[in-house]
Every structure is written in C-alpha cells, then in structure tokens.
Amino acid sequence: MLFQIKGKKRFRNPEKKMHRVPCSRCGKETGVPFRPRLGRPVYCRRCFARVLKEKKAKEEAND
Ligand SMILES: [Zn+2]
C-alpha cells in the first residue's frame, strides 16, 4: 500500500500584506499581518517571545 506524504503545510497567504511598524520594545522595524491599533504595543518576533515569557512569569508569580 502506498502512502502519500504531504509536503509542508502551506500558508494561505504567504505574501500577505504586512504593516511595517516599529517594535514597541526595541524600536526595530517589524512587520505585522494585522493593522496595529493605536495605543497597543507591537513587538518584533524576538521581543514578542520575551514579552510572552515575562507575562507568563508574572502570572505564575501572582499565583
Ligand atoms: Zn523588538
């Protein structure tokens, strides 16, 4: 019996419109697939991961 191995999942829109915005944390320009809302911080990938980590740590500390 033959099994077909599917390739990597493709993103629906690889060339999705990106909004160029400066990262709220390091100031580096980054692209986000959504329209950034006024007053909402936007992070580059690196900072986003850090912010998530910090948030998690905070939540754990508050517990
Ligand atoms: Zn950043």
40 in a structural domain = yes
pLDDT at residue 63, rounded to an integer: 77
pLDDT grade, residue 2 (50/70/90)? low
6 in a structural domain = no
How many Å lie between the centroid of ligand 1 and the Cα of residue 35?
17
pTM above 0.85, yes or no: no
pLDDT at residue 32, rounded to an integer: 87
Query: How many residues belong to the chain?
Result: 63
34 in a structural domain = yes
10 in a structural domain = no
Kindly report the number of other CB atoms within 10 A of residue 43's CB atom.
Answer: 19
**Dihedral of CA 45/50/51/56: which sign?**
positive
Give 23-32 pLDDT, tens digit per residue. 999 999 999 8
How many Å lie between the centroid of ligand 1 and the Cα of residue 59?
22
How many Å lie between the centroid of ligand 1 and the Cα of residue 8?
28
**How many domains does the structure of the chain reveal?**
1
How many Å lie between the centroid of ligand 1 and the Cα of residue 40?
14
User: Which residue segment(s) compose the domain that 23 sits in?
Assistant: 19-62
Give 5-56 pLDDT, tens digit per residue. 666 666 565 567 888 999 999 999 999 888 888 888 999 999 999 999 999 9
11 in a structural domain = no
31 in a structural domain = yes
